[in-house]
Amino acid sequence: MIRAAIAFFVLALLAVLFGAYGIAGLSVEVGKILLMVFLALAVLSFVGSLVTGRKTHLP
């Protein structure tokens, strides 16, 4: 999900560079939404692991 947010921010930068301000604004908004969703899920996962006492297994 964080990759998608970064991709939309890069797309927005490229759109501004080429003068497509409508697409740039839309891409920034989608990127912000994806970033907020990612952060919310990360916090929920962290709090959930603290509450249950389970450790996550990293690959």
| pLDDT at residue 5 greater than cutoff 70 | yes
pLDDT at 32: 84
CA distances from 10 to 4, 13, 14, 27, 36 (A): 10, 5, 6, 9, 17
CA distances from 43 to 25, 34, 38 (A): 27, 14, 9
Tokens 């996550």 sit at which residue?
56
Q: What is the pLDDT of residues 17-56, one digit of tens each?
A: 888 777 778 888 888 888 888 889 888 888 888 888 766 6
| pLDDT at residue 59 greater than cutoff 70 | no
pTM for this structure? 0.65
pLDDT at 56: 62
pLDDT at 48: 83
